[in-house]
Chains A and B, each alone.
Chain A
């Protein structure tokens, strides 16, 4: 049976991980390659490197970071943050990314999804959607959640899938950073609407939040950043918890 995936996100700025620094028991937490190595040993299923600055002049730093992390990592690696064109995607792929995650640029120019899927295959194209509850629907926001688009998350996820996206990375703006649990209704609504995998993001705080999002939330994968810094063995402990709940996970 297909395992539910646990994905760790490294928010990187200027070559350094910017979340979760200084937690106890973590040596050199600012180094993405070091964190990636530890997560890999712990049994993480996949890594996402998110460039939180993603300005033009930082591109080269980013490519170096990706290359360093990718060098000794033999699990899937996705790269996102400010990827606005085929050239940006090509730079990430060339540096060693298996997948690129596109967000604002995909909303502005949906044909970018199509062209990237044609060039690299759907398995390499993740469409990231940031959304929050707006009345009776989930509205899509861009530019790090600051700008409403007027689009509906379920409808946009369907279009992205039709255009060749291989996965949807769905982040709840309402839940992000709250550690109060994933947005279960939103995740379930999008996951049921598309046939491609949906990665839930935003709100992870406890292990039971993960079991909730895999059951009630119908998520195929769950992503978190700082929650994995809480203890040295968070990833393996989380997986043991999920396994005990009868949720299929990859154990090592």
Chain B
């Protein structure tokens, strides 16, 4: 099993590499879109600014789309998931891959005050919601079936660190709330996305990576 881990210089890939290695995958870091021909699965990781995805130019877009058409599954992690949508307010001129509809928007700190007063939360409310959204939060599964979430408990928690979020769409298979609800896991056909870091989310995350490798 060869997994292409696309390094477009958006953050450090050590953790993703380590998790994939632990699951027995062989990792390929493609230098050019043509290298994707050798891959059984493609992962677009990434943290940081959406601008960084500009490195994934038209050549990468078309190579990734053609591998998808050939039956090779694709997983976007964090910024990589956002890139699967049409674009992001963070870098309005940079197009995403556009396999999912809609644009990514910034979490709004002003929304925190009301939402943190949810039933059951008895702790006093700080001035506002913290953004970036950093830490463990629940994945509330939707009614749509998901291969990525197979065997993952509803409301299982995963580790997030991000400021922008993907919109809800027909592809949403799990929702997470941080002031606003957003798509934390998306899936359609062979395209999968996780807003959190499965490689940092303990057993829950490893299970999802294992599920992804099984699709391939």
Tell me whether B18 and A197 are in contact (CB under 8 A).
Answer: no
A105 within 8 A of B: no
Q: Please indicate the chain A residues that have their CB under 8 angstroms from the CB of B116 in the complex.
A: 1
Name B163's closest neighbour in chain A (CB-CB).
Answer: A122
Q: Which residue of the partner chain, among A5, A122, A191, A192, contacts B136 with CB atoms under 8 Å?
A: A5
Expressed in whole angstroms, the Cα–Cα distance for A1 and B11 within the complex equals 26
Name B159's closest neighbour in chain A (CB-CB).
Answer: A76
Q: Please indicate the chain A residues that have their CB under 8 angstroms from the CB of B59 in the complex.
A: none
B103 within 8 A of A: no
* With A195-B128, A195-B130, A197-B130: A220-B135 Cβ-Cβ less than 8 Å: yes
Tell me whether A120 and B12 are in contact (CB under 8 A).
Answer: yes
Q: How many B residues touch A, CB cutoff 8 Å?
A: 43
B67 within 8 A of A: no
Interface of A is mostly: loop
B19 within 8 A of A: yes
Expressed in whole angstroms, the Cα–Cα distance for A247 and B157 within the complex equals 15
Tell me whether B122 and A245 are in contact (CB under 8 A).
Answer: yes
* With A1-B177, A3-B136, A192-B127: A74-B121 Cβ-Cβ less than 8 Å: no
Tell me whether A74 and B133 are in contact (CB under 8 A).
Answer: no
Tell me whether A246 and B122 are in contact (CB under 8 A).
Answer: yes
Tell me whether A214 and B200 are in contact (CB under 8 A).
Answer: no
Tell me whether B118 and A1 are in contact (CB under 8 A).
Answer: yes
Tell me whether B121 and A98 are in contact (CB under 8 A).
Answer: no
B48 within 8 A of A: yes
Name B120's closest neighbour in chain A (CB-CB).
Answer: A246
Within 8 A of A (CB), among B147-163: 157, 159, 161-162
Tell me whether A93 and B12 are in contact (CB under 8 A).
Answer: yes
Q: Which residue of the partner chain, among B22, B123, B201, contacts A72 with CB atoms under 8 Å?
A: B22
Expressed in whole angstroms, the Cα–Cα distance for A3 and B177 within the complex equals 11
What are some 28 contacts across the A-B interface (CB < 8 A)? A1-B138, A2-B130, A2-B136, A2-B178, A3-B137, A5-B135, A70-B14, A70-B18, A74-B202, A74-B206, A75-B202, A93-B12, A94-B14, A121-B10, A121-B47, A122-B132, A123-B48, A123-B132, A166-B132, A166-B161, A195-B128, A196-B132, A214-B123, A218-B124, A220-B130, A221-B135, A247-B123, A250-B157
